[in-house]
């Protein structure tokens, strides 16, 4: 089984939707946050994302300056209420499939490999993403969001639920593909093959048009920086894009066969 993330991995090249919604929600509270500040905790449940932003030194300082006090749990709840409809709208607007998704999924299924999808989105945004993706021909065999488990990433529960529902085990038979550090971490915590994808990722942070406009030198430099972050998070493997996933799975299978040889 391959377990894909949604935004930044299979839809929404560059993970534009969630980042923009957080920037706008904070702006409505008089706090100007950067795209990098909004992206830093990406992949966790969106309420946990807001809390992580507020706990950061830079955003926390901006909040105190704007509000004249430290943030509270009520502020997290208020920001979450603001960001929820924004996330749903943005998920629909930016739900275009990442190049190569349909071809990759078709090739996986031709090999008898099941496809699941997990996300840090809450239920309403996850449903919006699923609807938009399905209209473009991408329908995973199983989907689950952070609202449906006791804890979202980096906890492994969404991956375990997918394994249970699709009857796939042991963990070595599962590949998790994601575009954030917590994607790498939940794959590692589940004991599966944890793979980071670079080009369309939140870590790269560029729209498809911006990425395609890079020079070869700029592209190599940015890829190398994301590669380093995934390595630091202990990714088992790293790919530039989904065109490289099938060859990687062949390589993983060969490594597993080599380990089983006497």
Check residue 144 and give its pLDDT.
97
Q: Tell me the residue length of the chain.
A: 262
Check residue 8 and give its pLDDT.
94
Q: Quick count: other Cβ atoms within 10 Å of Cβ 84?
A: 17
What is the C-alpha separation between 129 and 23, in angstroms, rounded? Answer: 20
What is the topology classification, in CATH, of domain 2-14+95-260? Rossmann fold (3.40.50)
Say if CB 195 and CB 177 are below 8 A apart: yes
What is the topology classification, in CATH, of domain 17-93? DNA polymerase; domain 1 (1.10.150)
What is the C-alpha separation between 212 and 98, in angstroms, rounded? Answer: 13
**Delimiting residues of CATH 3.40.50.1000 domain(s) in the chain:** 2-14+95-260
Catalytic residue, candidates 12, 46, 114, 199: 46
The DSSP secondary-structure symbol of 148 reads G
**Delimiting residues of CATH 1.10.150.240 domain(s) in the chain:** 17-93
At residue 218, does pLDDT exceed 90? yes
Check residue 256 and give its pLDDT.
77
Mean pLDDT, rounded, of the chain: 94
Diameter of the chain measured on Cα atoms: 67
Say if CB 82 and CB 28 are below 8 A apart: yes
What is the C-alpha separation between 234 and 130, in angstroms, rounded? Answer: 29
Confidence tier at 262 by pLDDT (50, 70, 90): low
Helix/strand/coil percentages in the chain, nearest 5: 55, 10, 30
At residue 6, does pLDDT exceed 90? yes
186 catalytically annotated: no
250 catalytically annotated: no
Catalytic residue, candidates 5, 183, 186, 237: 5
Say if CB 201 and CB 226 are below 8 A apart: yes
Mean pLDDT to the nearest integer, 177-198 = 97
Question: Can you give the pTM of this predicted structure?
Answer: 0.86
């Amino acid at each position: 089984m391959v377990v894909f993330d949604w935004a930044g991995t299979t839809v929404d090249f560059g993970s534009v939707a969630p980042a923009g919604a957080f920037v706008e929600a904070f702006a409505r509270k008089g706090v100007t946050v950067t795209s990098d500040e909004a992206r830093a905790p990406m992949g966790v449940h969106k309420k946990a994302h807001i809390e992580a932003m507020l706990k950061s030194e830079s955003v926390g300082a901006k909040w105190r300056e704007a509000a004249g006090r430290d943030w509270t749990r009520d502020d997290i709840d208020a920001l979450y209420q603001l960001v929820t409809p924004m996330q749903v709208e943005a998920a629909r607007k930016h739900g275009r499939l990442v190049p190569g998704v349909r071809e990759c999924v078709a090739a996986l299924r031709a090999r008898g490999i099941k496809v699941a999808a997990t996300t840090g989105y809450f239920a309403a945004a996850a449903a919006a993403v699923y609807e938009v993706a399905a209209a473009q021909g991408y329908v995973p065999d199983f989907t689950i969001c952070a609202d449906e488990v006791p804890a979202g990433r980096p906890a492994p529960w969404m991956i375990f639920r997918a394994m249970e529902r699709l009857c796939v085990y042991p963990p070595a038979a599962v590949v998790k593909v994601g575009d954030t550090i917590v994607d790498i971490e939940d794959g590692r915590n589940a004991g599966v093959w944890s793979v980071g994808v670079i080009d369309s990722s939140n870590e790269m942070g560029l729209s498809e048009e911006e990425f395609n406009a890079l020079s070869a030198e700029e592209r190599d430099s940015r890829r190398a920086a994301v590669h380093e972050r995934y390595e630091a998070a202990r990714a088992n493997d790293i790919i530039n894009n989904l065109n490289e996933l099938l060859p990687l799975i062949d390589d993983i299978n060969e490594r597993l066969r080599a380990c089983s040889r006497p």
